[in-house]
Chain A
Amino acid sequence: MSTAASTAETVEPLEDREELESVVIRFAGDSGDGVQVTGGQLTQVTALAGNDLATFPDFPAEIRAPAGTTYGVSAFQINFGARRIRTAGDRPDVLVAFNPAALKVNIEDMPGGSLVIVDTGTFSDRNLRKAGYGANPLEDRSLDNYRVVEIDISKRTLDSVEPFGLTQKQALRCKNFWALGLIYWLYGRGRQTTIDWLNAKFGRIPAVAGANVAAMNAGHAYGETAELGLEVKGYVIPPADMPRGLYRTVTGADATAYGLVAGTRSAGLRLMFGSYPITPASALLHVLAGMKEFDVVTFQAEDEISAVCSAIGASYAGALGVTSSSGPGIALKTEAIGLAVSVELPLVIVNSQRSGPSTGMPTKTEQSDLYQAVYGRNADAPVPVIAASSPADAFDAAVEAVRIATKYMTPVFLLTDSYIVNAAEPWLIPDVDALPLREVEFRTDADGFHPFLRDEDTLARAWALPGTPGLEHRVGGLEKDYDTGNISYDPENHHRMTMVRKAKIDGIADDIPPQAVTLGSLDDTVAVVGWGSTHGPINRAVDDLQSEGLDVSHIHIRHLWPLPRNLGGLLRSYDHVLVPEMNTGQLRTVLRSEYLTPAVGLNNVSGLPFKIAEIKDAVRKLLEG
């Protein structure tokens, strides 16, 4: 259902509300408290209200960690506003803590004076002990710096859902919607969208749907009857000024899937997606498995190697093979990627990067697989590398990955990360029919054919499919003769083939847009250079610093291999190059290696996105010398 006309309905009357430019809200509770669901609803309703927004779901790797423990705390943060929103926010203005552990884990992120809403119903001695509190923080004045709103949300939820005859356990599960109702009142959001969603979701168990609606209404009424005290009043956040058009919210996993489908269709190919479940990459498999009507075939393989091999097999037979994983799984695929380089077949490898090495922190974000993508194979095996910079941007990045893979007959790395995959943001929905048609032309002419016959411009080899009469041929991982495609151990031929494989990938630099200055100008003193999901914090930091009168630019790189031809010159026009990365300096090393540029790093490997303030501080420090 399109709710294009519903914007007005979702904003409640102004009353005596204070206008805010933006707000950051964090929900935190046990993994089973429904924190992510609550966040998802607030995201949807906020988007419909016309705000710009960014979200940051942050959850433990365990599905249902023991209740009440600090390591089982799941959190969801949303930043929304009347201005363009570029990150999920450095520090929350509001924290909703569903238990002592959630308070304990999150209170350090809260600035003084911020609003902290706690469910006192969970502050039992047992839960306090589990959270590691010696004394009850609600009683020892340790929270005096905050505006703490103590509500027994558990009891109020139980009271409000009483008529529905649920068990105590079921009834308590509604408390996330009680809290959501309160937040809806605080920020003047309508409830109808969520009521509709609950009724649809729990259509077969009307008591559960009704109870959740009742809990939400009770939370809303609690705010409305001014029981909050502490001069907590309602706020209003007007719609943001955004480019005109039709919007929806999208996660990075959604956008990647849509981009792969759109790109493959514009190439006139079937998409064959081979994947093995791994956090956080599995979401892409789930989305694509639901898109069969677009001729998408998904294959849940027995392991990562089978996943990539099935994709290569599919490309060999004329589909576009795509595989997806996270760092450890990509490592397992490496040998097969080398095969795709050697036999020159199209393949898209999506890496949803996560904290490592090894299993690391599976649900936390990082961008530490750049070396793996650019350099991480045996022998000379160049592969183009593209990075998405935000959830919505993953669509364009995926379309571009498909374009390069099919045009140049090569595997392509598409890098996202845990943050991009899970976070949501508004997306100006593109017209996929307007994407340039780049239908692949398979070789059918037997005259003069051999499988490694190359296009003079792109150096891509001919794509001849099994099933084509007269073009029967053999390909494999053994070195091929340049002029016939047959096996060759000739020394000069191997050198020639190695160099032509390299030239093919290097040449892609002529077929990508020159690097632009994302924000700022060449006259500035400092260039803050980023890639991937650091786009948001860098962009906001640079924007803020420019407002302060500092000469700072933001340069964000999509094409990480080959790099844009003009990038070296661009970097040389700045006195300082600062490279913030969620790794120990991988892009910095690449830039130094390629351009001998004296780039310095700002490196944060915490599993969390950069804070805007961190980047601003680093730039100021650089300018102070």
Chain B
Amino acid sequence: MNVEARIEPLKAKDFASDQEVRWCPGCGDYAIIKAMQKTLADIGAKRESTVFVSGIGCAARFPYYMSTYGFHTIHGRAAAISTGIKLANPDLDVWVASGDGDALSIGGNHLLHVLRRNVDLQFLLFNNEIYGLTKGQYSPTSRVGTRSPSTPLGSVESPVSACELALGAGARFVARSVDTQQKHLPGVFRRAREHRGASFVEILQNCIVYNDDVFAEFTAKDVAPDRQVHVAHGEPLVFGADRDKGLKVDPDTMSLEVVAIGEDGVTESDVMTHDETNPTLAGMLARMQPPEYPVALGVLYCNPARTYDHDVLTQVREARDRAPDANLNEYLRRGHTWTI
């Protein structure tokens, strides 16, 4: 332990691998990996016990650029691979780096099940609402009307809402952030890491080549304060450049409404307080879209429950404890045997 104590704490740059990063210049992924390296340094993560697992896509190159353990697997399957990793060694800290095609299209089934099982890992969805690595086709999160090489007249599909899907799947931790929010993102990563169980984090990520500024309507500096609400447990759901807007429940429609604080007798005390353990509120926050509503950022839902890997391995451990002298030779000789 003394040896440990003398080791210099790792800095953010110590979590970068020696491989040249090959994302497009200006890609939001640069910001995400920077926030991740800072987070790991801040929390004192160990390189050897940290594993990044990915499928296919731009986001899936993430593990190559980290100095931790990494496994770049096949399209959509990172969640399934990670489940096996946790069942073999639950002490590993597993992060999945995935994109909207990888997680919600080809890998949608695995995402559903890793969340409902509550495998103890962090699932990062880099959502840029487009297919990057295959050169710009629309994705399952693209908005209706997205023009792309495969939809020259505009896409006609309804997009999936990632955080709502995660909540519907039974996720116990759902958060959202934006690639460029370098103050916000590490905090969300840290919360995801602290949560035991499957932590789902949607990162709104700008694809500068195929879908530039797709989030600008609420991330552009001039509109951001009025079109984003940063949620925090126990804090009122207040937003706006002058903190003059809030969210409250309209009892007639059972939905959130935006109210102006200081108008019509509305005060901050009328505004709803964020309770991250409330699944109904989480669903309403996840659903909000501009321009009618602000986009909710932060930890929308955190309500820990038993984890799959822990419970499965507890059954195995208890079976071993019940039969400490389990002997395969004896096992094979149980029941009806005969001698010739």
Q: Are B71 and A245 in contact (CB under 8 A)?
A: no
Q: Given the known A-B contacts A247-B338, A472-B69, A476-B64, are A302 and B109 also in contact in the complex, defined by CB atoms under 8 Å?
A: yes
Q: Given the known A-B contacts A293-B319, A466-B85, are A246 and B339 also in contact in the complex, defined by CB atoms under 8 Å?
A: yes
| Smallest CB gap from A433: residue in B | B329
Q: Are B338 and A475 in contact (CB under 8 A)?
A: no
Q: Are B69 and A466 in contact (CB under 8 A)?
A: yes
B221 at the interface (CB under 8 A from A): no
A448 at the interface (CB under 8 A from B): no
Q: Most chain-B Cβ atoms within 10 A of its Cβ — which of A50, A305, A476? A: A476
Q: Are A478 and B87 in contact (CB under 8 A)?
A: no
Q: Given the known A-B contacts A3-B336, A292-B316, A477-B73, are A467 and B110 also in contact in the complex, defined by CB atoms under 8 Å?
A: no
- Once the chains are docked, how many angstroms separate the CA of A312 from the CA of B81? 6
Q: Are A469 and B72 in contact (CB under 8 A)?
A: no
Q: Are A306 and B72 in contact (CB under 8 A)?
A: no
| Smallest CB gap from B313: residue in A | A297
Q: Are B87 and A262 in contact (CB under 8 A)?
A: no
The total of chain B residues at the interface (CB under 8 A) is 57
Q: Are B68 and A296 in contact (CB under 8 A)?
A: no
Q: Given the known A-B contacts A467-B92, A476-B64, are A309 and B319 also in contact in the complex, defined by CB atoms under 8 Å?
A: no
| Smallest CB gap from B320: residue in A | A293
Identify which of A142-150, A221-229, A315-323 touches chain B.
A315-323
Q: Which residues of the other chain, B, contact A291 by a CB distance below 8 angstroms?
A: 331
| Smallest CB gap from A196: residue in B | B336
| Smallest CB gap from B312: residue in A | A297
Q: Given the known A-B contacts A248-B337, A429-B337, are A477 and B70 also in contact in the complex, defined by CB atoms under 8 Å?
A: no
- Once the chains are docked, how many angstroms separate the CA of A301 from the CA of B77? 12
A547 at the interface (CB under 8 A from B): no
- Once the chains are docked, how many angstroms separate the CA of A28 from the CA of B335? 27
B280 at the interface (CB under 8 A from A): no
- Once the chains are docked, how many angstroms separate the CA of A321 from the CA of B87? 10
Q: Are B85 and A314 in contact (CB under 8 A)?
A: yes
The main secondary structure of chain A at its interface with chain B is mixed
Q: Are B84 and A321 in contact (CB under 8 A)?
A: yes
Q: Which residues of the other chain, A, contact B46 by a CB distance below 8 angstroms?
A: 469
Q: Are B328 and A261 in contact (CB under 8 A)?
A: yes
| Smallest CB gap from A250: residue in B | B332
A47 at the interface (CB under 8 A from B): yes
Chain B 309-340 interface mask (CB, 8 Å, partner A; 1/0): 00011011001101100101101110111111
A135 at the interface (CB under 8 A from B): no
Q: Which residues of the other chain, A, contact B340 by a CB distance below 8 angstroms?
A: 50, 239, 242-245, 247
Q: Are B71 and A293 in contact (CB under 8 A)?
A: no
| CB proximity to A under 8 Å, residues B81-113 | 81-89, 91-92, 109-110, 112-113
Q: Are A313 and B19 in contact (CB under 8 A)?
A: no
Chain B 46-59 interface mask (CB, 8 Å, partner A; 1/0): 11110101000000
Q: Given the known A-B contacts A296-B316, A467-B49, are A487 and B19 also in contact in the complex, defined by CB atoms under 8 Å?
A: yes
Q: Are A272 and B84 in contact (CB under 8 A)?
A: yes
Given A272-B88, A318-B88, A431-B329, 13 extra CB contacts under 8 A: A44-B336, A245-B340, A293-B326, A299-B312, A306-B83, A309-B81, A310-B83, A313-B86, A336-B74, A429-B332, A467-B91, A474-B69, A486-B19
Q: Which 7 A-B pairs have the closest CB atoms?
A: A313-B84, A476-B72, A310-B84, A292-B319, A309-B80, A474-B70, A317-B88
11 intermolecular pairs with C-beta atoms under 8 Å apart: A245-B340, A291-B331, A297-B312, A306-B83, A306-B113, A309-B110, A314-B88, A316-B85, A321-B88, A432-B329, A476-B63
